[in-house]
């Protein structure tokens, strides 16, 4: 899939492109005249392309690498995000993702949560700033001014974990210390043997769903909000808690895998060559929906 | 090319060092009327300036055919949408002239949200000799009025009056990118990112939605409308271009909602050229029917293409505008230049096409001889009435004298808006906040 792609000149690689693109989306929120839908759509294409390259590079490295040792932390208790077709995740398999060390801290902040534009009932969060009312689905023009409603992943969460529920797909994701423990690339059964007893998907029943709704923040959309060029404080947190700092590359997986939902329009154009790649890219591509919602949710 | 008329900029010489340009003065659209007698420009500050061509006179041979300011008016003001907390820019996105039907001229101007119909009239006579009022307009003392007189019209200095006749508001949720007057002279269409509306020129409180590509789930959005135009002769046909590089020809007779195209013009992507930015550079920024109505001209970031209405699979002609930028797309993405929307234009006989580029260069392609030329619109490089010298951009290798290297191109100097006189070889080039008008006195050859 990426063989036909020419590497761009010089300095820019996938990660820089991703951070530049996110910066553009972020700054477009404050520009005069409102969000330019066309420009943001084009930026989202660059994001997708860069992410595909990044993920396939990551995957290629993982594939070459021997299986990682068992993690020092306990496996996350809450289930993890992902489309149903992927197998159960090994616990803590990807705390220390391999790969080249970070190129610098130009990367975006870890996930920022915004209610999706179609959300009719924004959830209340402890300590979260008030959210502006979401437009109704019928009359929503697709523009939703979130200005200021972006808030970082709950810092006050007692266990350092953030669990988000995507109201569109009812998929629950757990992020440990701002870092999604199972990276999407590790979900390929070929490189990491599945551990029994770890739930990967979560389909709340009718009763459970209400409970979950109250406790957990809404997910979906708006990852770009709050992205800036500031150094990543989450990274500092990683350093506190883990023996070696994870590379910044992991933040990108956080951003893109924390939201799981379909983006069929873009996915249909891109098909992976191999089935391994397909497993990985499918899930990665599937989470691009969040980007578009970020773009049009303003 | 012939003389150089530079208007609208008062004095740049002392500002040149600071490279300072008032943002409001940046020209955002240029359009000749149907006879070429009038030229309208819109700017980012919401103003419209109309130029009129002086009639040729034997007394002053050098001023024959020059364009001078005819009228200036404020078309749009900044607005604020309180519901969405959005500021609506006053920048004029497009101006389209209506065909002249009486002594007055009319044009449509639009910003991101609202289209306005303006009527431009001249007043060169005024009535004098009122019975009850004197020359200053004061009421006369009735005792002094002894006889009745009929007021007569006396000549006065020409006054151009511009009045807004219609305001077509609240038709668009997204940003309006183009308007086009139908050949029936009764209707026009306006296109935003996702929808196209059909209006009647006399009716402002409603419009028909004829194209709607908004997906039910905005997550599934993959393309937006970038430009649209009515066919010059067939009042039922129009074309719209998309950010994916395709053109759709629609027939309004087929159905009320023209979501299904009659023809889809799309060229398959060359896989060897695939890059991160393939989607961006394939987005069509402008589409123009030829005067004959047989062809369409499209502009994407690096090329202009001529399409035959009868052939949907690929364009009949493709011209490289500045292919040397292909290896610079990363930097152009970083500095946002890759999002620049260049326009394109046909000449009156559809034999030459023109489009702008960077460094105040603009390019012309002769479709018959297959020759092309790069010219520069700048004060420094062209004295008035001098012949424009062809420019060359060198991409490494042998560099001739006066060549510009790719790395020294000034990307802040972009020519996005150009217009060609409908019948003569006169072109209007908008270079940021300067308007250049070039005339071809002698039929010079392209080289």
Q: What is the block-wise mean pLDDT of chain B (447 residues), using blocks of 10 residues? A: 42 45 91 97 97 80 78 96 88 97 96 97 91 84 87 92 96 96 97 97 96 92 96 97 96 90 92 90 97 97 97 96 94 95 97 97 96 90 74 81 89 96 95 92 44
* B221–A36 CB contact, under 8 Å: no
Q: Smallest CA–CA separation between A82 and chain B, in Å?
A: 18
Chain B contact for A263 (CB, 8 A cutoff): yes
With contact defined as beta carbons under 8 Å apart, do B96 and B188 qualify? Answer: yes
Q: Is residue A270 over pLDDT 70?
A: no
B173: closest chain A residue by CA: A141
Please check whether residue B107 lies inside any domain of the structure. yes
Report the sign of the C-alpha dihedral through residues A107, A111, A117, A122, in that order.
Answer: negative
Domain membership flag for residue B443: no
Token digits for B380?
């420094």
**Which three-class secondary structure state does DSSP give residue B41?**
strand
Residue of A nearest to B272 (CA): A4
**Helices vs. strands in chain A: H and E counts, helices first:** 8, 4
On chain A, the residues whose CB falls within 8 A of the CB of B329 are 8
Instruction: Report CB contact under 8 Å: B283, A264.
Output: no
* In contact, A291 and A108? CB cutoff 8 Å: no
What secondary structure letter does DSSP report for B404? E
Lowest-confidence region among A259-263, A269-273, B225-229, B393-397: A259-263
Q: How many domains does chain B have?
A: 1
What is the pLDDT at residue B35?
Answer: 96
Which of A24, A37, A46 comes nearest B277 by C-beta?
Answer: A46
Do residue A49 and residue B193 have CB atoms under 8 angstroms apart? no
B87, B224, B274: residue with CB nearest A37: B224
Tens of pLDDT, residue by residue over B282-318, are 999 999 999 999 999 999 999 999 999 999 999 999 9
Tell me the shortest Cα–Cα distance from B192 to chain A, in angstroms.
Answer: 10
Model pLDDT, residue A173: 53
Task: Report chain B residues whose CB lies below 8 A from the CB of A50.
Answer: 276
A147 contacts B221? CB cut-off 8 A? no
Inspect the interface and report whether the beta carbons of A33 and B223 lie closer than 8 Å.
no
Please indicate, yes or no, if residue B316 is contained in any of the structural domains. no
Q: Does A24 touch chain B (CB under 8 A)?
A: yes
Neighboring chain A residues of B194 at a CB cutoff of 8 Å: 37
- Whether chain B has a CB inside 8 Å of the CB on A296: the answer is yes
CA B380 to chain centre: 25
Given the structure tokens 């502006």, which residue do they identify?
A132
Asked if A24 lies within 8 A of B336 by C-beta distance, the reply is yes
ipTM topping 0.95: no
What contacts A230, CB < 8 A, 6 or more positions away?
A109
Closest residue in B to A134 (Cα–Cα) = B84
Name the A residues in 110-129 with CB < 8 Å from any B CB.
Answer: 117
Residue A95 has pLDDT above 80, yes or no: no
Our CA-based measurement puts residue B241 at a distance from the nearest CA of chain A, in whole angstroms, of 13
CA B340 to chain centre: 15
CB A81 within 8 A of CB A260: yes
- Residue among A17, A38, A266 whose CB faces B226 most closely: A38
Q: Is the pLDDT of residue A239 over 90?
A: no
Residue A150 has pLDDT above 50, yes or no: no
Give B408's contacts (C-beta < 8 A, 6+ positions apart). Answer: none
Asked if residue B265 is part of any domain, the answer here is no
CA atoms within 13 A on the CB side of B371: 7
Residue B63 within any structural domain of the chain: yes
Predicted pLDDT at A223: 39
The predicted model gives A254-276 an average pLDDT of: 36
Indicate the SS3 state at residue B198: strand
Which of these, A40, A5, A27, lies nearest to A147 by C-alpha position?
Answer: A27
**Average pLDDT in the A47-65 region?**
86
pLDDT average, residue stretch A25-37: 86
Find chain B residues with C-beta within 8 A of A296's C-beta.
218, 221
Confidence class of residue A9 from pLDDT cuts 50, 70 and 90? very low
B215 neighbourhood in chain A, CB within 8 Å: 265
Residue B101 within any structural domain of the chain: yes
Q: Is the pLDDT of residue A232 over 90?
A: no
C-alpha separations of B399 from B251, B321, B393 in Å: 51, 19, 9
Instruction: Report pLDDT for B394.
Output: 87
Residues 182-241 of A with CB under 8 A from B: none
B344 within domain boundaries: no
Q: Would the pTM count as exceeding 0.90?
A: no
Q: Is residue B407 part of a domain?
A: no
How close does chain A come to B280, measured CA to CA in Å? 6
Half-sphere exposure of A47 (CA within 13 A, CB side): 31
| Residue of A11, A30, A38, A169 for testing the chain B interface, max B β-carbons within 10 Å | A38
Query: In chain A, whose CA is at the least distance from the CA of B277?
Result: A46
Closest chain B C-alpha to A203 CA, distance in angstroms: 22
Distances (CA, A) of B52 to B37, B110, B400: 6, 21, 40
Q: What is the pLDDT of residue A78?
A: 41
Q: How is A56-122 classified by DSSP, letter by letter?
A: HHHHHHHHHSPPPPPPSSPPPSS-----TTS-PPPTTTTSS--SSPP--S-SPPS-EE---TT-SSP
What gap in Å lies between CA B125 and CA B123, rounded to an integer? 6
Kindly list the residues from chain A whose CB atom is less than 8 angstroms away from the CB atom of residue B276.
5, 8, 17, 46, 49-50, 53
- Domain assignment of residue B83, given as a range: 22-119+163-168
């Amino acid at each position: 899939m990426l063989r036909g792609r020419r590497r761009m000149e010089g300095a820019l690689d996938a990660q820089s492109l991703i951070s530049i693109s996110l910066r553009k989306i972020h700054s477009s929120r404050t520009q005069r005249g409102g969000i330019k839908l066309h420009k943001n759509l084009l930026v989202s294409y660059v994001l997708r392309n860069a992410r595909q390259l990044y993920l396939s590079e990551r995957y290629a490295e993982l594939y070459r690498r021997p299986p990682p040792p068992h993690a020092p932390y306990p496996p996350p208790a809450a289930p993890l995000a992902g489309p149903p077709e992927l197998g159960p995740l090994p616990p803590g398999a990807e705390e220390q993702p391999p790969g080249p060390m970070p190129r610098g801290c130009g990367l975006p902040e870890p996930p920022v949560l915004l209610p999706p534009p179609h959300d009719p009932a924004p959830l209340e969060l402890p300590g979260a700033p008030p959210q502006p009312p979401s437009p109704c689905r019928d009359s929503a023009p697709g523009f939703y001014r979130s200005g200021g409603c972006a808030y970082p992943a709950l810092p006050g969460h007692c266990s350092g974990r953030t669990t988000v529920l995507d109201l569109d797909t009812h998929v629950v994701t757990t992020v440990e210390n701002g870092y999604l423990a199972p990276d999407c690339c590790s979900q390929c059964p070929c490189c990491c043997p599945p551990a029994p007893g770890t739930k990967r998907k979560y389909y709340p029943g009718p009763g459970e769903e209400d409970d979950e709704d109250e406790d957990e923040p809404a997910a979906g959309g708006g990852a770009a909000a709050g992205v800036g060029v500031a150094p990543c404080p989450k990274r500092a947190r990683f350093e506190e808690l883990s023996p070696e700092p994870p590379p910044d590359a992991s933040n990108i997986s956080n951003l893109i895998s924390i939201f799981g939902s379909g983006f069929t329009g873009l996915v249909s154009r891109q098909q992976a060559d191999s089935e391994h790649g397909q497993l990985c890219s499918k899930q990665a591509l599937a989470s691009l929906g969040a980007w578009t919602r970020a773009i049009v949710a303003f | 090319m012939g003389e150089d008329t530079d208007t609208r900029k008062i004095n740049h010489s002392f500002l040149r060092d600071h490279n300072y340009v008032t943002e409001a003065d940046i020209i955002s659209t240029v359009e000749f009327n149907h006879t070429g007698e009038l030229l309208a420009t819109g700017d980012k500050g919401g103003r419209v300036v109309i130029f009129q061509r002086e009639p040729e006179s034997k007394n002053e041979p050098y001023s024959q055919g020059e364009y001078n300011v005819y009228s200036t008016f404020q078309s749009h003001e900044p607005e604020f949408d309180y519901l969405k907390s959005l500021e609506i820019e006053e920048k004029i996105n497009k101006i389209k002239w209506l065909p002249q039907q009486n002594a007055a001229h009319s044009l449509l101007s639009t910003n991101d949200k609202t289209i306005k119909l303006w009527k431009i009239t001249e007043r060169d006579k005024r009535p004098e000799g009122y019975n009850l009022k004197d020359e200053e307009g004061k009421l006369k003392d009735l005792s002094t009025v002894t006889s009745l007189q009929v007021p007569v019209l006396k000549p006065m200095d020409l006054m151009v009056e511009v009045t807004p006749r219609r305001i077509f508001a609240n038709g668009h949720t997204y940003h309006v990118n183009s308007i086009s007057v139908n050949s029936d002279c009764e209707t026009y269409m306006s296109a935003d990112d996702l929808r196209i509306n059909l209006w009647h020129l006399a009716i402002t409180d409603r419009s028909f939605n004829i194209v709607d590509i908004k997906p039910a789930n905005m997550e599934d959005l993959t393309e937006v409308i970038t430009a649209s135009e009515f066919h010059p002769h067939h009042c039922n046909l129009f074309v719209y271009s998309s950010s994916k590089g395709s053109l759709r020809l629609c027939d309004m007779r087929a159905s009320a909602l023209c979501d299904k195209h009659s023809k889809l013009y799309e060229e398959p992507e060359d896989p060897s050229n695939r890059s991160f930015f393939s989607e961006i550079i394939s987005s069509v920024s402008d589409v123009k029917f030829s005067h004959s109505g047989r062809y369409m001209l499209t502009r994407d970031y690096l090329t202009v293409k001529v399409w035959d209405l009868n052939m949907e699979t690929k364009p009949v002609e493709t011209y490289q505008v500045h292919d040397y930028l292909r290896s610079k797309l990363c930097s152009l993405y970083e500095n946002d230049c890759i999002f620049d929307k260049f326009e394109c234009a046909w000449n009156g006989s559809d034999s030459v096409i023109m489009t702008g580029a960077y460094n105040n260069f603009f390019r012309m392609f002769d479709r018959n001889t297959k020759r092309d030329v790069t010219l520069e619109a700048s004060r420094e490089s062209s004295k008035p009435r001098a012949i424009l010298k062809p420019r060359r951009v060198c991409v490494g290798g042998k560099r001739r004298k006066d060549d510009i290297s790719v790395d020294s191109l000034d990307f802040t100097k972009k020519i996005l808006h150009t217009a060609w006189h409908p019948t003569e070889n006169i072109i209007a080039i908008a270079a940021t906040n300067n308007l250049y008008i070039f005339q071809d006195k002698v039929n010079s050859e392209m080289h």
